[in-house]
A and B are shown apart, each in its own frame.
Chain A
């Protein structure tokens, strides 16, 4: 059966994810450093903003492999469950602070997919808009 593939940025599909990961980043980083370096050294360490951004970036790439986060992302997949042959192929991290969700949609379901897409993301896109965006 003919399939089309679509890649949707997670920030479109699930905008709260970045917030979820970044909200505790500074505290998480401090906690990790506390487990690595001794108390005297720790007192002298000054965490810079660029360290926190790098840490978030690293953690996001780690979470792309984490089953817990994959489940959260997949649980936000409900709008497409009506199309039982539409599957999440992968959840990847593109290295630019962005997760992408890759879906395979059967050709026969494409029109319905566009309707669900527009309804879920509150957009008004055509089939061409959606599938051109992903190339």
Chain B
């Protein structure tokens, strides 16, 4: 799936809602943009999307 500015924002919003983390800043030291959160997590958007999916699956499983 092609990533858009909107889908990135959506992933970030979901991640912050699921975890309670706040985004401190984003940086692009290389090819990938990294997102740094107040919990100390430094993640790429693909990692964030994967963690959201795992969380979403957990919430939707019985």
Contact = CB atoms under 8 A, between A and B. Distances in A.
Given A46-B61, A61-B32, A62-B32, A36 B50 contact: no
Contacts, number: 45
Given A36-B39, A58-B44, A47 B32 contact: no
Q: Is the interface of A mostly helix, strand, loop or mixed?
A: helix
A44 interface: yes
A37 B40 CA distance: 13
Contacts of B41: 35-36
B50 to A, nearest CB: 5
B55 A58 contact: no
Interface in A60-114: 61-62, 64-65
| Majority-rule SS of B interface residues | helix
A62 B34 CA distance: 10
A44 B57 CA distance: 10
Interface in B30-62: 30-32, 39-41, 44, 46-47, 50-51, 53-55, 57-58, 61
15 contacts: A32-B47, A32-B51, A33-B54, A35-B40, A36-B39, A36-B51, A44-B61, A45-B58, A46-B57, A47-B54, A48-B57, A51-B54, A55-B47, A62-B32, A65-B31
Interface of B: 18-19, 21, 30-32, 39-41, 44, 46-47, 50-51, 53-55, 57-58, 61
Given A37-B55, A45-B55, A65-B32, 11 more contacts: A33-B51, A33-B54, A36-B19, A36-B39, A44-B61, A45-B58, A46-B61, A51-B50, A51-B53, A51-B54, A62-B32
Interface of A: 32-33, 35-37, 41, 44-48, 51, 54-55, 58, 61-62, 64-65
